[in-house]
Structure 1
Amino acid sequence: MSDTAAIPSLPRRFAALRNRDSRPYLFTSGLSMMADNTEHVITYWVLWQTFHSPALVGFQIISHWLPFLLLSVWSGTLAEKYDCRRLIQAAQGLFMLVSAVWGVLFLTDSLTVWAACILLVLHGTAGSLWGPAEQLMLHDFVDRHELPSAVRMNATFQSLGILFGPVVGSALLLWLGPTGGIFVNVLLYLPMTVLMFRTRFTGHTRDAAHGAADVAVKPQVGWRDTARVLRGIRSNHLIIAMIIISGLTAVTIGNALQSSMPVFAARLGAGSSGDLTYGVLLFAMGFGGVVGGFLLEATGVIRPTLRAAVLSTVVFGGAILAFALTGSYALAIVALAVAGAGEIASLSITQSVVQLEAPAGERGRTLGVYGMFSSGLRTGGGVTLGVLGAAIGVTQAIGVFAAVLAVGALVAWWYAARRPGRASRGETTLDAGVAP
């Protein structure tokens, strides 16, 4: 390690939005995430109307997240070795291809279960390829002390995409039908694809300019080199703590809350207006995440530290626990909004800490490991909900998951604090003013 110049203690508010390089990236990233979720709305509706298969519904979730579990580290290795612009374009191109093939199958009335399964897997694969390259680009666009802003704003804009994806998908279904809607969805991936032709950053430009010695050694795209990185990560308790927190979030609340929301809507009095009750509950958490992301950026009250990551996760888990216990519709909405803010804080902080702590020459693979846990373990979220929900009930299971997440975050804090130095004080290299 080597000392760097003094890093400003208070980075500019909305620094990533003020940056002319990262600003269009944030908007196009949110647009691509919206296209991702728009495709889900259209295709899931068509698949249910065509096959009425509960097994296929389960496969939709598994196929989306399993590629993250299996391929994230490999994708991180690719992001270290190659131009991240081209990897992002490859991912966006695969997204577009999948949407276009869906459209052809709808148009020709030739959709089969096997074709649907293949397309669902390819869609998940595109997402796993996009993740590490996307994060390395953020590291390239902004200075080190502004990286938390870039990660937080990227998460916020992607949350906007997730929030409005169902709205856009429903509107396209209503106005154009599934065939026209899915072909229009192809166009939503184009802005990010075109932007990657226009930007001069590659995901490695800033590290190369700073003369990082370990960037010159390109990693091998193979399991042996990946295993070496995994062994190295074990010595960094701060990174391991972030992985524990993100993994616990994925395997406990993760997808479980959204899939169980109809149960909560019924418990909170959904009757003839059940659709409105259900929709408001789904919207509340997404709205809380978006508002929370902008408020955190505007106030600058939270820095990327172990303490902040743990506390935001505890707030997230505590709010979900309150939601699971309350019988009041109004309190449930408030609890979900608070949970959304806690979730985006936890997500952006853990991502920032991993980026800041990872060595430059191993950042992509380290982010790949993080993605493997934070996204890949969502594959098993449905299994944990199904098993525990069958034993004690769905609402009770969500409450247990929330409590486990909060306690697990505190355990991760204790684990990281065992390391002498920065981690015991809850600091990252950003706070210490040191470059890894």
Structure 2
Amino acid sequence: MFASLRVPNYRLYAGGQVVSLAGTWMQRVAQDWLVLDLSHGSATALGIAAALQFTPTLLLSLWGGVLADRVDKRRMLIAVQVAMGLCALALGLLDVTGVVTLGQVYLLCALLGCFSALDVPVRQSFVSELVGPAQVGNAVALNSLTFNLARIVGPSVAGVMIVAIGTGWVFLANAVSFVGVVTGLLLMNEAGLFRAEPVPRAPGQLREGLRYVRGRPELIAVLVLVFLVSTFGINFYMTLALVARNVFGRGAEAYGLLTTLLAVGSVIGATLAARRSGRPRLRLVAGSGLIFGVLLIGAGLMPTYLATGIALVPVGVAVLTFTTAANSTVQLSVDPTMRGRVMGLYMLLFLGGTPLGGPLLGVLAEHFGGRAPLVLGGLVTVASVLVVGAVLLRRHAGARLSAVGWRHCGGRKDRLT
């Protein structure tokens, strides 16, 4: 289950990520709460902040993927992580000094989004260099486990800190947490990395990556599902603050608890994913997406705060199973020289839908209540899986009929026309 942890470089990476990601989740909770405080509880303002943070993904993640295939991933990660830490430091100083405005939060959300758009595809494609091809699936699952363990600790700590000392100190704590991941990257043994040959700089490399994906129908199916499910389904977590505050009249601690319960389910899902061996199948991607959609609808219809929190646990299991299976499927099905560009496209679709989904779900919650994003997200997720599955089945059926026709005609092309 923990095979990747036998690799020294991966242990350094995972240890640094635990510290840094806990701080990142603390900041997400504090940032949402700060935006709601500065905007007097506006769901639209919350959606705008999310859109500003994720819009750069639409513009930069593909180029981040190109860079991932060209440059030293470890050095680039160090530079980007330092920049993200400085963004947290700036927001924390503005907040604790009492001069922070909603416009300043929006600006820092956009800057953080720019650095994140470059960081994510490099970080995703760096996994194979840490552990080698044989352990990629296990490492992806353990990364998800690390991410969600941090998501349990981070929101809980943030909720207590917000009540006790305010949101500003949460941002400063996140700035300090980046020391962990940068230190881990600096201590790595470069000779122990499973590096692919860097792709020489040349024109048209981005188009080359897109053509590569276009020729892989099952890869396209996974990417389409990732876009639709993440845009309309997975983005529901951004409206949990509205569920806690506007639906049930609770405070920051209650919001942190909802996020923590979702993360508990995600940890269970990551643990199950790490125990699975072999290459994940497209059937697992589609099946887990379908189950996630159904469970999300159920969570949105729960009548009480306690019931909603409990319902988020299986939602977390399903969403983590979906994202881990999709990520591993993409990483293991592409050529190493294309992995950075394909993962850049993957992260564009996974995170880039937030500028669309975030404001849409925020406006939906403003007009129809905090439950609406969960119910609508679940319905769209179920419909997406069914439609993409039907298209794939039809394509496969057509391919089989063509193959049968070719054999019956003795392989003569002229008799098929």
> Shorter-chain TM-score: which interval?
0.7 to 0.9
> Where does residue 130 of structure 1 map in the other structure?
119
TM-score by length of 2: 0.83
Name the structure 2 match of 1:292. 269
Q: Check if 1:37 corresponds to 2:13.
A: no
The structural deviation recorded for 1:283 is: 2.8
Identity of aligned residues (%): 25
1:279-299 alpha-carbon deviations (Å, 9 max, x no partner): 54433221111122113324x
Residue 184 of structure 1 corresponds to which residue in structure 2?
173
**Of the candidates 6, 9, 15, which is equivalent to residue 27 of structure 1?**
15
Q: Distance in 1 between matches of 2:96 and 2:373?
A: 42
Structure 2 residue identity aligned to 1:238: E
Matched, 1:336 2:312: yes
Q: Is the 8 A contact 2:62 2:348 kept in 1?
A: yes
Contact 1:34/1:165 (<8 A) preserved: yes
Say if 2:239 and 2:373, in contact at 8 Å, map to a contact too.
no
1:24-103 aligned within 5 A: 24-50=12-38, 52=40, 54=42, 56-103=45-92
1:263 to 1:310, Cα distance in 2 relative to 1, 3 A: same
Structure 1 residue 108: Cα displacement:
4.8
Determine which of 209, 221, 225 is the counterpart of 2:205: 225
Q: Which moved more, 1:130-139 or 1:37-46?
A: 37-46
Please tell me the residue identity of whatever aligns with 1:218.
P
Aligned length, in residue pairs: 398
Aligned residue identity for 2:26: T
Q: What are the equivalent positions in structure 2 for 1:154-233 lying under 5 Å apart?
A: 154-173=143-162, 177-201=166-190, 205-208=193-196, 215=197, 217-220=199-202, 224-233=204-213
* In 2, Cα distance between equivalents of 1:144 and 1:415: 31
After TM superposition, the score normalised by the length of structure 1 is: 0.80
1:310 is aligned to: 286
- 1:326-374 Cα offsets, whole Å, 9 max, x none, are 4476664443211101111111111111111122211111101010111
Q: Paired residue for 1:427?
A: none
For the 8 Å contact 1:169–1:181, the answer to whether it is kept is yes
State the distance in 2 between where 1:129 and 1:352 align. Answer: 20
Matching residue of 1:430: none
Q: Deviations over 1:123-148 (max 9, x none)?
A: 11222221111112211122323211
Q: Assess if the C-alpha contact under 8 Å between 1:258 and 1:282 holds in 2.
A: no
Give 1:382's match in structure 2, choosing from 338, 358, 368.
358
One-letter code of the match for 2:233? Answer: I
- The structural deviation recorded for 1:403 is 2.7
Describe the shift of the 1:266–1:385 C-alpha distance in structure 2 as closer, same or farther (beyond 3 A). Answer: closer
Match of 1:248 in 2: 228
Between stretches 229-238 and 44-53, larger displacement belongs to 44-53
CA distance in 2, matches of 1:260, 1:46: 14
Specify whether residues 389 and 371 from structure 1 end up closer, same or farther in structure 2 by C-alpha distance, changes over 3 A only. Answer: same
Tell me how large the CA RMSD over aligned residues is: 3.2
Distance 1:139 1:169, change over 3 A: same
Please list every run of 5 or more consecutive structure 2 residues that lacks an aligned counterpart in the other structure: 401-417
CA distances 1:235-272 after superposition (whole Å, capped 9, x unpaired)? 111221111121111221222344156448876xx46x
Q: Aligned match of 1:395 in 347, 368, 371?
A: 371
Q: Contact 2:231/2:357 (CA < 8 Å) preserved in 1?
A: yes
